[in-house]
Structure 1
Amino acid sequence: MTPQHPGPDRLRFGANYVPSSGWLYSWLDFDADTARRDFEDLAGLGLDHVRVFPIWPWIQPNRSLIRRQGIQDLLELIDVAAEFELGVAVDLLQGHLSSFDFLPSWVLTWHQRSVFTDELVRSGLAAYVDQVCRAVATRPNVFAVTLGNEVNNLWPANPTSAGACSDWAAELLATAKAAAPELLSLYSLYDAAWYEPDHPFHPVDAVELGDLTTVHSWVFNGVSALDRPLGRALGPATTSHADYLVELAAAGSADPGRPVWLQEVGAPQPDIPAAEAAGFARLMIEQVAPNPALWGVTWWCSHDIDRRLVDFPDREYDLGLFTVDHRRKPLADQLASSITELGKSRPVDRARPAIVCEVDLRTEPERRAEVAPGSAFHTAWVRLRQAGPLAIVPAHRAGDRAYLAARGIATVLPHPTTPEPAAT
């Protein structure tokens, strides 16, 4: 299988893999047959890839010990995915998953070493990244490695600064690329990097580090609350948020052709009631698919979490496309339908209007609140987006014709000085 690298002609669709049995604790007693049954579920939807999550401290329990069996289990999972013609993206540093942090004891207890700033931790991580990348690069269905899942969730328990976390990411991405030059090397941040003024992880790193930009769209970050007073679970702020994040990412990149991977998007309850999940998936995909920057969509997640496992936030249990007993949800049926439809023809819009964003997220991260959900700019974008695809262009490039053409922008609208409410 040849991995598909960024390109405009075909969207990739996949799922973030959460095993149906035992959640990710299943790595402790890995069973290939369980994974085989799970991947059969996913392949039946027409998905082409999975994103998988080895747990860092279980592979590297000591700074000088990287367990070969842990890497071998990962390779066996990748081989099972290949049986179903599924590509694999491997997240390296877990790190943070579903509200839990997984860190090895050699950065905790009395050591108290920051993952981002301590030189010993960084050297240990570099060895881990190097060995895992070299191993997974031997499998032809692996197409990408990501440093970790939303690594900025590890702050502030692991103190850092903007400069330190930027250097950390650049250093480890270089290690990954040297070990596996044919794979996409990526950086994953949750959306505090885009919206919170004091957050030490900045948008410029998201759009410059790695081979493409990844975004994670979760409607509990505030957008669902904008629609809720109107009694609309599937209001315009909610259904368009993925497209909004893709646009912010595209506008923030110096390269007008840099692709954006919607690496996580899901339908969390109660923000999106279970009965509305399929409708959300349909509307969200309809709105984001025409975006010429979009590389692919990876749903969170493949399977529900067994409720016999305790202490997860309630919304985490029912995010799967399938139940723990492999029952296919209406949400999964809708995703399969959307994949089939877009496989016939992807409706890329290369003649969109755009609105100007006065905030330069590359150089003015302290102004991030001005583009956050509910801000005047976001409200105006949501209102105008209801008429059709709508780009975002930074003010300093609004007159750059070559840049606008490269982004598929036909016209630049006047700055929206008096935004109306987000919903009509």
Structure 2
Amino acid sequence: MPLPHHNPGPLRFGANYVPSSGWFYGWLDQPADAARRDFEDLAGIGLDHVRVFPVWPWIQPNRTLIRRRGIDDLLAVIDAAAEFGLSVAVDLLQGHLSSFDFLPSWVLTWHRRGLFTDPDVRAGLVTYVDTLTREIVTRDNVFAVTLGNEVNNLYPANPTTFGDSRSWAAELLGTARAAAPGLLTLHSLYDATWYDPEHPFHPADNVDLGDLTTVHSWVFNGVSAIDGPLGPATVTHADYLVELAAATSPDPSRPVWLQEVGAPRPDVPEPDAPAFVSRLLEAVTPNPALWGVTWWCSHDLDRSLADFPEREYDLGLFTVDHRPKPAARELAAAVKERRDRAARRRALVCDVDLRAEPERRAEVAPGSAFHAAWVRLRQDGPLAIVTAARAADPADLAARGIDTVLDRH
């Protein structure tokens, strides 16, 4: 299911799949049986896809052992999604999930070696990515593979550099692409790569590696502290990240997938959640760069499970007993409405070129002078971001639908 290299038309709407029974530990049992009921929930509100997270060390417990049962369980979940008309994106290296890291013993303790740098680890990962990708491409409803869920969360336990993190991702993306040329191959990073000057994953990797750009928008990164749960900075943060990605890509037609976004407590208190979801979607869905929105997450986390951060328990569109929550109703309304994309927009010039000056990332982070100016101007309607060099390129501006360029100085 290859992606045309231009805006693909109607937005995709989906959910990151967290099983209602047993969280991701459900992969240790019979995941497809439980998944059918969960997928019925998601199809019932009009969603068209799910992103699924098989847990890496449970499939590859030894560097030279890939469990057939683990692969079969993954394929069964994919088939269950197809029963409800859902297409599937598979994350490969889990990796990092909801504040826990799941790494196989062959990269830990007495066998500790760098995930991104050790040649034996990388060889094992190539085998894993190749094997899983060749298996899942046999299912017609699979459309994408992502290397893993926010793999940069595995730093600093696995130190790396710009060069090593980039070559690691490029090698594994190349492996997946060779195994399944028809699938989208994607790289997933949390927002330190955009905002933290010291982070060893380059912001350009977001837009140079993989077939489209993915962004993860979480307002507990400090955004909600600026103006509260329903303030303009908070409800437009997803749109801001999409614009940063579009401004950083050398290809003005490269789509951006809002691959994770949610309404976390206490940053978004329960009474404010419906308005937060509605305003967030109202802000981001008209963005012409946007490929789709995938909500985090499908189902709440059962409170019988211990030691998770408090916000992780209530992020679902549905409760563990399958009751739709306000976020589900607001997302369903957006699916039905299918808002038009913004045809023409203004753009704010950004003095920072993240491709060339990653050490200046703090200057575009939430709360920076640039971010504050963008939020203020964004209240008057859709607002793109453009670098100074590209602001002088009429063809680039036209490709992104920009007809007016503003300077904050």
TM-score normalised by L of structure 1? 0.95
The match for 2:252 among 249, 256, 263 is 256
SS at match of 1:113: coil
Query: What is the CA-CA distance between 1:17 and the residue it aligns to?
Result: 0.1
Aligned to 2:398: 405
Aligned to 2:378: 385
Query: What is the CA-CA distance between 1:32 and the residue it aligns to?
Result: 2.0
The match for 1:364 among 348, 351, 357 is 357
Contact 1:3 1:140 in 2 (8 A): no
CA distance in 1, matches of 2:143, 2:327: 26
Matches within 5 A, 1:267-346: 267-342=263-338, 346=339
Cα distance per residue 1:185-211 (max 9 Å; x no partner): 000000000000000001111110000
Query: What is the CA-CA distance between 1:4 and the residue it aligns to?
Result: 6.5
Contact 1:216 1:263 in 2 (8 A): yes
Aligned to 1:212: 212
Matches within 5 A, 1:139-218: 139-218=139-218
| Amino acid of the structure 2 residue aligned with 1:288 | V
CA distance in 2, matches of 1:214, 1:31: 27
CA distance in 2, matches of 1:34, 1:398: 51
Contact 1:369 1:375 in 2 (8 A): yes
Contact 2:197 2:359 in 1 (8 A): yes
Contact 2:7 2:254 in 1 (8 A): no
CA distance in 1, matches of 2:99, 2:354: 27
Contact 1:52 1:88 in 2 (8 A): yes
Aligned to 2:344: 351
CA distance in 2, matches of 1:171, 1:3: 20
| Amino acid of the structure 1 residue aligned with 2:390 | R
CA distance in 1, matches of 2:30, 2:93: 19
Segments of structure 1 that go 5 or more residues without pairing to the other structure are: 418-424
| Amino acid of the structure 1 residue aligned with 2:408 | P
| Amino acid of the structure 2 residue aligned with 1:347 | D
Query: What is the CA-CA distance between 1:394 and the residue it aligns to?
Result: 0.6
CA distance in 1, matches of 2:286, 2:83: 31
Aligned length: 408
Aligned to 1:106: 106
CA root-mean-square deviation = 1.0
Segments of structure 2 that go 5 or more residues without pairing to the other structure are: none
SS at match of 1:110: helix
Cα distance per residue 1:235-267 (max 9 Å; x no partner): 000000000000000000000000000000000
CA distance in 1, matches of 2:150, 2:287: 23
Aligned to 1:422: none
Aligned to 2:66: 66
Cα distance per residue 1:248-307 (max 9 Å; x no partner): 000000000000000000000000011211211111111111111000000000000000
Query: What is the CA-CA distance between 1:349 and the residue it aligns to?
Result: 1.1
Matches within 5 A, 1:16-165: 16-165=16-165
CA distance in 2, matches of 1:210, 1:140: 21
Query: What is the CA-CA distance between 1:397 and the residue it aligns to?
Result: 0.8
CA distance in 2, matches of 1:352, 1:324: 42
Aligned to 1:420: none
Matches within 5 A, 1:1-16: 7-16=7-16
2:390 counterpart of 1:416 = no
| Amino acid of the structure 2 residue aligned with 1:220 | F
Contact 2:317 2:325 in 1 (8 A): yes
CA distance in 1, matches of 2:379, 2:168: 40
